[in-house]
């Protein structure tokens, strides 16, 4: 069964990569043809092709074209949009219920949660600083086509404290009826999760409802990502190149580079430093032994597939308690997505800057809060972290066509950055496990410092 899932995962990744490569190849061909025929007799023929494939059918009063690629891309995006509210509500509520299960509460659960939260905050802060630096250096800047200037979204100045007031909705149903009030949905999910935990068994029927809805959402998103995403990504990349030109490619490459570099730097800094400060253990031993966990995660692009290796390494090479590892590592696989949060900080800065929206430090703070809340409830589905970028976008009001173009490029080009992001996630699980075991005096320091692993 596991091998079948790994083959299926490999097939999905292969399809995504083929879609990306094919999209850029066809897109560049379209771009070259467009550049060659504009102002010549062939311009009329290009306009026919553009009307059939790339026309924005919502921008015309009459039937001026079919816009086949536009329709495919929009259907895919709207399919994602449709599931955003139930996805956040159910996944975050269930994550809180699982975390606050009375059987799991206590010192271990508390220390686990605090450790993950601290890594979340540090990762978000450092990634946000790196993203703001990249933006200030002009790495994410795009020269927008003149005809698109009127579509730019602006974020008006406001007192950030207003966000606290607006986060609590006066009408729960209204708050869940729009993707633009995701912060309210996050608050509702937190309230539901905590109250359901307090109620105990009385809340089991409602919990089952949330679980069933969550299963439906994940099934639909699995179908959308596995079956539709490669075609939609191909169409969106080709259309973006054919309509908007090459100006988007350079900033996208910079987003990839910045995300990979920041993720790897965070792996090599925050976890070793965190272990040294909290336990006094040699952090280089941890990095050396945990390296294979990160490499395996990057190769498989799956935290679930990496869990057995992570557990084995923690117990046999890092000296962690088997009982504590059995709690910390699966919990981390569910709620520890600090790599995803780091990626969100950079992605949002890229998307907003490319769309002409000025990102401020206050905006980045709100981005970090939304990202941490959504990352905790990120479900175990392909490219889930990138899908959740859309949640943060909606929470910030980044919903213009230009923002959607930036998001489509993020979604399409996620594979390479995703390898670094998932490495940050899984090694964070191992680091937290070491810290919790050390604080509980359950860490075998002899095994930790040993050059050879303990025999099974």
Q: Which of 84-93, 166-175, 369-378, 414-423 has the highest mean pLDDT?
A: 166-175
* Contact residues for 84 (Cβ-Cβ < 8 A; gap 6+): 179, 182, 390, 391, 394
pLDDT given at position 76: 82
pLDDT attached to residue 154: 37
Which of 295 and 3 is assigned the larger pLDDT? 295
The answer to whether position 302 is within a domain reads yes
- Alpha-carbon distances, residue 60 vs 56, 57, 72, 88 (angstroms): 7, 6, 18, 34
> Using an 8 Å Cβ cutoff, are 414 and 286 in contact?
no
Is there a contact between 454 and 316 (Cβ–Cβ < 8 Å)? yes
* Least confident residue range of 87-91, 126-130, 451-455: 451-455
**Residue 388 included in any domain:** yes
d(CA 12, CA 15): 5
Count helices and strands (H / E) in the chain.
20, 0
Report helix, strand or coil for 156: coil
Say whether pLDDT at 137 is over 70. yes
Report the C-alpha gap between 168 and 266 in whole angstroms: 33
Quote the domain boundaries for residue 388: 83-222+249-449
Residue 238 lies in a domain: no
In a domain, 437, yes or no: yes
End-to-end CA distance of the chain: 24
At 25-65, the pLDDT tens digits run: 888 888 888 878 877 777 788 888 888 888 877 776 667 77
CA of 308: how far to CAs of 133, 304, 328, in Å?
38, 8, 13
- pLDDT band for position 299 (50/70/90)? low
Per-residue burial over 24-56, b = 16 or more CB atoms within 10 Å of its CB, e = otherwise: bebbbebbeebeebeeeeeeeebeeebbebbbe
CATH number at residue 273: 1.10.3860.10
CA–CA dist 302, 305 (Å, integer): 5
Give the whole-angstrom CA distance, residue 384 versus residue 221: 9
Query: What share of the chain in percent tops pLDDT 90?
Result: 10
208: burial class by Cβ within 10 Å (0-12, 13-18, 19+)? Answer: exposed
Q: Which residue has the tokens 């490459």?
A: 253
Residue 105: is its pLDDT beyond 80? no
CA atoms within 13 A on the CB side of 162: 7
| Arithmetic mean of pLDDT, 414-419 | 76
Listed residue (408, 406, 295) closest to 357, CA to CA: 406
Residue 257 inside a domain? The answer is yes
Residue 101 neighbours by CB under 8 Å, 6+ apart: 197
User: Has this prediction a pTM greater than 0.85?
Assistant: no
The answer, yes or no, to whether residue 276 has pLDDT greater than 90, is: yes
Of residues 245 and 405, which shows the higher confidence score?
405
Predicted local distance difference test score (pLDDT) of residue 14: 72
Say if residue 103's pLDDT is above 80.
no
Say whether pLDDT at 306 is over 70: yes
The torsion angles phi and psi of 348, rounded to 5 degrees, stand at -65, -40
What's the pLDDT at 11?
61
DSSP 59: G
422, 382 Cβ separation under 8 angstroms: no
Burial 140-171 (b: 16+ CB within 10 A, else e): bbbebeeebeeeebeeeeeeeeebeeebebee
Query: What integer pLDDT is reported at residue 129 of this predicted model?
Result: 92
Mean pLDDT over residues 133-147, rounded?
70
The pLDDT tens digits for 2-16 are 455 545 554 666 777
DSSP H or E segment with residue 455: none
Is 33 among the domain residues? no
The residue that leads in pLDDT, 349 or 384, is 349
For CA atoms 103, 106, 107, 109, the dihedral sign is positive
* Residue 237, in any domain of the structure: no
Query: What local confidence, expressed as pLDDT, does residue 163 receive?
Result: 57
More confident residue, 222 or 377: 222
Please report which confidence band the pLDDT of residue 377 belongs to, taking 50, 70 and 90 as the band edges: low
Q: pLDDT band for position 355 (50/70/90)?
A: confident
How many domains are there within the chain? Answer: 1
Nearest to 316 by CA among 446, 455, 445: 455
Q: 455 pLDDT band (50/70/90 cuts)?
A: low
Q: Is 71 within the bounds of a domain?
A: no
The pLDDT-based confidence of 153 (bands split at 50, 70, 90) is very low
Taking residues 197-204, what's their average pLDDT? Answer: 86
Q: For the residues 425-429, what does the mean pLDDT come to?
A: 90
pLDDT digits (tens, 9 = 90+) for 201-240: 898 899 999 989 988 987 887 788 778 878 887 888 788 7
The per-residue pLDDT for 150 is 38
């Amino acid at each position: 069964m596991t091998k079948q899932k790994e083959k299926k995962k490999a097939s999905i990744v292969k399809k995504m990569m083929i879609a990306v490569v094919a999209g850029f190849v066809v897109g560049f061909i379209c771009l070259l043809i467009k550049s060659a025929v504009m102002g010549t007799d062939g311009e009329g023929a290009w306009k026919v092709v553009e009307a059939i494939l790339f026309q924005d059918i919502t921008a015309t009063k009459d039937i001026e074209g079919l816009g086949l690629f536009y329709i495919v891309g929009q259907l895919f995006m709207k399919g994602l949009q449709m599931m955003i509210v139930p996805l956040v509500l159910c996944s975050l509520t269930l994550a809180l219920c699982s975390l606050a299960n009375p059987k799991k509460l206590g010192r271990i659960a508390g220390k686990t949660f605090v450790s993950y939260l601290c890594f979340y905050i540090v990762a978000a802060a450092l990634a946000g600083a790196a993203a703001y630096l990249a933006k200030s250096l002009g790495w994410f800047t795009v020269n927008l086509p003149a005809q698109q200037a009127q579509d730019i979204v602006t974020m008006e100045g406001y007192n950030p404290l207003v966000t606290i007031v607006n986060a609590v909705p006066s009408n729960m149903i209204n708050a869940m009826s729009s993707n633009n009030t995701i912060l309210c949905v996050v608050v509702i999910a937190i309230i539901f999760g905590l109250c359901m935990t307090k109620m105990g068994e009385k809340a089991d029927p409602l919990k089952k409802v949330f679980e069933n809805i969550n299963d439906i959402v994940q099934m639909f998103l699995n179908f959308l990502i596995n079956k539709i995403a490669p075609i939609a990504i191909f169409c969106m990349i080709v259309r973006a190149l054919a309509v908007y030109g090459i100006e988007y490619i350079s900033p996208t490459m910079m987003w990839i580079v910045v995300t990979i570099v920041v993720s790897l730097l965070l792996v090599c800094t925050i976890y070793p430093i965190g272990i040294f400060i909290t336990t006094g253990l040699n952090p280089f031993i941890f990095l050396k032994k945990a390296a294979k966990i990160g490499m395996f995660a990057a190769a498989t692009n799956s935290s679930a597939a990496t869990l057995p290796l992570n557990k084995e390494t923690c117990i046999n090479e890092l000296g962690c308690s088997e009982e504590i590892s059995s709690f910390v590592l699966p919990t981390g696989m569910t709620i520890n997505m600090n790599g995803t949060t780091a990626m969100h900080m950079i992605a949002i800065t890229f998307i907003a800057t490319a769309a002409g929206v000025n990102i401020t430090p206050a905006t980045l703070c709100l981005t970090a809060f939304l990202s941490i809340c959504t990352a905790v409830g990120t479900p175990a589905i392909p490219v889930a972290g990138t899908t959740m970028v859309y949640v943060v976008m909606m929470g910030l009001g980044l919903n213009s066509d230009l923002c959607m173009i930036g998001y489509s490029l993020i979604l399409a080009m996620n594979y390479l950055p995703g390898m670094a992001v998932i490495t940050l996630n899984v090694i964070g699980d191992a680091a937290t496990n070491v810290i919790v075991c050390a604080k509980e005096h359950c860490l075998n320091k002899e095994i930790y410092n040993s050059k050879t692993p303990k025999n099974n």
